[in-house]
Amino acid sequence: MAAALLFSLLLTGCAGGSRDPVQLDPKNPVTVEIWHYYNGPQKTAFDELVSQFNEGLGREKGIVVEAFSQGSVNELIAKVIDAADQKVGAGEIPDIFAAYADTAYQLDQKGLVASLDPYMTAEELEEYIPGYIVEGRFDQEGNLKIFPIAKSTEVFMLNKTDWDLFARDTGASLEELSTIEGVTDVARRYYEWSGGRAFFGRDAVANYMIIGSRQLGQEIFSVVNGKVTIQDDKEILRKLWDNLYVPHVQGWFAAYGKFRSDDIKTRDIIALVGSTSGAAYFPNKVNLSDTESYPVESLVMPAPVFKGGEAYAVQQGAGMVVTKSDAKTEYGAVVFLKWFTEAQRNLDFSISSGYLPVKKEANTQDMLNAALDKEAAVSYTVHLKKTLPVAMEMAQTYTMYTNKAFQGGTAARAVLENSMMDKIKTDLAAIDALVESGQSRQEALAGFLTDANFDAWYASFDKALRAAAK
């Protein structure tokens, strides 16, 4: 009854041209609690904007926003799900929470997610990049369930200082790094030139599996009306294996720290593929020991693509999900999100956090360059100033892709993230043990660089992926 009344009121308000279909009282403001996963410079930037809203439009309309970081995105997901399931000690689910489509879908199945369409006009929706709106319409009715606020993609980042030494001695070219196979081959040569140091690492293996498959012509998760079909073609997976597992066990790729920027800092690698939102953490110097370090310059390039593959890149960055509640709280939440994504304001947030803005108006190089010049004095924008123009160019020249949401999507993505990397860790330990027993490293490796080893992993991977996606 209440929902029907709300919808009637909203229709009446919109028909009359009002943008305030729900009347709030500035003397008795509604409080909107937000959970997010921003940390460091991103949290600082977000908190500053929340304060601006509360002191300005929020005070005028009667809305108070309270924002809380919940740690990493995985920690946030766990806390939101615990709250939704009413676990002991979890607290109440917030009014807004940051989420990817899989998490939003999971909570929508519990009836906890509000549709945002009643609070948005067609003209307002048209201002946003279409793909970002489409991502949020994951239910069978096509309701908007995720509000886009900031997006990111992956780029290739390089310690140019050490690269220049390698390139001078070997003739290696930056053009070779435009393909995934080229990165693998350069990594092999760097390993030989450097006396056994790794060249490259990836932050998100799941992205590599999803986007690599898409570049090679197949959606690993094909989703129609929330139902998923697994398409893990063995030939495609072999290419993914040859360009991740093989260079890892050979020592050409590496992953030691929590993020690959940590490995850049210690010169365990000199190149990575990672999110634009992580660009602020690319180091300005390499630490060889507690007392010895040297400055390094960064270089940013578009993420590599498989040879002969289509130019797909990951579209990521969680949107904001509004929890189903009362009309005033839902409306207050949407008012804040609209305010947050106004073009210049959203671009300013992007500059300080490594994300791309979500409105068409803000996604121009001219507007980006003006914003970057304005923020030139901020130290953490040094790498972002190189990263964001590349990312914006990619958004215009690559096909940005994210798979549709489905039940079991979070668990299935975890299989993509962990399966091959777990295999790499296990096999590297076995190889090290063989070397310690007296075998040469090449002799030890020979037993792992086989079709049979790939076949065994693939069978295990396929079984785990299908089980997770049920």
Residue 46 falls within a domain, yes or no?
yes
User: Which H/E stretch holds residue 365?
Assistant: helix 365-374
Residue 141 falls within a domain, yes or no?
yes
Residue 18 has pLDDT above 50, yes or no: no
Q: Domain tally for the chain?
A: 2
Do 308 and 322 belong together in one domain?
no
Across the chain, what does the average pLDDT equal? Answer: 92
Residue 372 falls within a domain, yes or no?
no
User: 332 pLDDT band (50/70/90 cuts)?
Assistant: very high
Do 54 and 185 belong together in one domain?
no
Residue 376 falls within a domain, yes or no?
no
Query: How much of the chain is in helix, strand and coil states, percent to nearest 5?
Result: 50, 15, 35
pLDDT at residue 188, rounded to an integer? 98
144 alpha-carbon distance from chain centroid: 20
- Integer Cα distance of 397 and 87 in angstroms: 45
Could you tell me which of 141, 138, 95 has the C-alpha nearest to residue 332?
95
User: 369 pLDDT band (50/70/90 cuts)?
Assistant: confident
Identify the CATH number of the domain in which residue 146 sits.
3.40.190.10
Question: Which amino acid is residue 60, in one-letter code?
Answer: E
pLDDT: which is higher, 290 or 180: 180
pLDDT per position as a tens digit, 106-146: 999 999 999 999 999 999 999 999 999 999 998 888 999 99
Task: Tell me the whole-structure pTM to 2 decimals.
Answer: 0.88
The phi, psi pair for 361, rounded to 5°, reads -55, -35
pLDDT per position as a tens digit, 237-287: 999 999 999 999 999 999 999 999 999 999 999 999 999 988 888 999 999
- Integer Cα distance of 125 and 123 in angstroms: 6
Residue 82 has pLDDT above 80, yes or no: yes
User: 380 pLDDT band (50/70/90 cuts)?
Assistant: low
Q: What single-letter DSSP state applies at residue 94? A: P
The whole-number average pLDDT for the span 169-181 is 98
The whole-number average pLDDT for the span 229-239 is 97
Give me the long-range contacts of 440-445 (CB less than 8 A, separation at least 24).
445/249, 445/250
User: 314 pLDDT band (50/70/90 cuts)?
Assistant: very high
Residue 303 in contact with residue 155, Cβ under 8 Å?
yes
Do 31 and 62 belong together in one domain?
yes
Q: Is 21 in a helix, a strand, or coil?
A: coil
User: 236 pLDDT band (50/70/90 cuts)?
Assistant: very high
Highest mean pLDDT among 229-238, 283-292, 347-356: 229-238
Do 204 and 134 belong together in one domain?
no
**Strand pairing class (298-302; 154-159):** antiparallel
User: 3 pLDDT band (50/70/90 cuts)?
Assistant: very low
Do 309 and 321 belong together in one domain?
no
- Integer Cα distance of 56 and 53 in angstroms: 5
Residue 386 falls within a domain, yes or no?
no
The whole-number average pLDDT for the span 30-52 is 93
User: Which H/E stretch holds residue 400?
Assistant: strand 399-401
Residue 401 falls within a domain, yes or no?
no
pLDDT per position as a tens digit, 388-422: 999 999 998 999 999 999 989 989 999 999 999 99
Residue 393 falls within a domain, yes or no?
no
- Integer Cα distance of 301 and 393 in angstroms: 10
Do 108 and 214 belong together in one domain?
no
Percentage with pLDDT > 90 across the chain = 80
Residue 458 has pLDDT above 80, yes or no: yes
Do 91 and 116 belong together in one domain?
yes
- Integer Cα distance of 336 and 359 in angstroms: 15
Residue 78 has pLDDT above 50, yes or no: yes
Do 105 and 246 belong together in one domain?
no
Q: Is 5 in a helix, a strand, or coil?
A: helix
Residue 396 falls within a domain, yes or no?
no
Do 171 and 199 belong together in one domain?
yes
Do 176 and 264 belong together in one domain?
yes
Do 84 and 124 belong together in one domain?
yes
Residue with tokens 């450097």: 194
Do 176 and 305 belong together in one domain?
yes
Q: What single-letter DSSP state applies at residue 73? A: H
* Domain span at 18: 2-152+317-363
Question: Helices marked H in 129-257 — which ranges?
Answer: 130-135, 160-170, 180-194, 205-215, 234-242, 245-250
Q: Which two tokens stand for residue 63?
A: 């809305």
User: 348 pLDDT band (50/70/90 cuts)?
Assistant: confident
Residue 201 has pLDDT above 60, yes or no: yes
pLDDT at residue 383, rounded to an integer? 82
